[in-house]
Chain A
Amino acid sequence: MLRQPAAAAVADEASRGDDELLARIAAGSQAALSALMARHGRGLRTFAARYLGHAADAEDVVQEVFVTVWKQAARFDPEKGRASTWLYRITVNRCIDQRRRRALRNFFGLDKLVEEPAAQEADAEAATAAKQELAIVRDGLSRLPARQRMALLLRAVGELDIGAIAEVMGASAGSVEQLLVRGRRALRDHLADAAAGRERKSS
């Protein structure tokens, strides 16, 4: 039975690079897996939560990702790409599977909830203007087409460059640039509409 590794062992692993951590995970080091989770878990979960629009699904996806990493770390080849790109690629694939599963459940009427009600969130978080602005951004993100949202989140949250995003999404660099341009334009339009709406309300 696996037990959580001691904090000291995890701290010891934390100084290692991602490639080295993956090599150690492939050799069976749980402390290395914990260190990798501490480093990338939050980013992957943020990406999955905002891409799927469903916190519970995102948590499930991230757990699956790290189980996959544990089982398949030996397959990672540092010469083919960065570890973060590999992690995001696994996450993207799991997110797509999760969306399909949810769509199937919706089709059969097993699920009613598709995405978190972003508009309600915007109201609930309207305590301050800054929080409201962030809620509007979240609302705008949730309304973007899936691939535009994915590209924007990989850029902003994953901090991946165009080449890495193209690799993760299995698309060309040109189409990723197009997705980013369209996504940003749609998000700016959404922010402008929201600001105009607020002005109308206040006047």
Chain B
Amino acid sequence: MTREEFEKNRRRFGDDIEAWPAPFRRQALEFLAPQANADPDDVLDGLVREAALVEEDGALARKVMARIDRSAARPSLPRFLVAPAGIAACAAAVLVAATVAGYQVARLQDQPQDSELLALASGERLPDDGSSAIIPDPGEEDSL
């Protein structure tokens, strides 16, 4: 007796197997006997195995061969770079590089501003030609 036949009979005669007609009862008890003796975990695993079955795909070999062919034809990016972790790492690296570059550019732009501020503090007129407004101390030159 298969599980399907057993379930069909259960719907037909009810859950109480003892009340089933003799031939069906015997078959049902034979069907249930190995399950009664078996480890309940094994029975559940069997049920999981049966439930998990999927339709077989006969084209697997062909598809895998085609995929191997495609991957051999074109050089692909390292797997790390296309994984989510790789994408996140690349994004972080770009962010750090952009920040460092930003600081560098800002520092270059800040240098003339510093000299302008010093000129302002010492009351000097800012030169129009863009040259430094800070005049070296003559005493300092002598000492050198």
Hey, which bits of chain A sit against chain B, CB under 8 A?
A: 1-4, 30, 33-34, 37-38, 41-42, 45-47, 49-50, 55, 58-59, 62-64, 66-67, 70, 97, 100-101, 104, 128-131, 133-135, 137-138, 141, 152-153, 155-157, 180, 184, 187-188
Contact = CB atoms under 8 A, between A and B. Distances in A.
A138 B84 contact: no
A113 B71 CA distance: 28
A2 B71 CA distance: 11
Interface of B: 3-4, 6-8, 10-11, 41, 44-54, 56-57, 60-69, 71-72, 83-84
A66 B62 CA distance: 11
A41 B60 contact: yes
A32 to B, nearest CB: 12
A141 B52 contact: yes
A152 B7 contact: no
Contacts of B3: 130
27 contacts: A2-B72, A30-B65, A37-B61, A37-B64, A45-B54, A45-B57, A46-B52, A50-B54, A59-B57, A62-B60, A63-B64, A67-B68, A128-B7, A130-B6, A134-B47, A134-B51, A135-B51, A137-B48, A141-B51, A153-B48, A155-B45, A156-B45, A157-B48, A157-B52, A184-B41, A184-B44, A188-B44
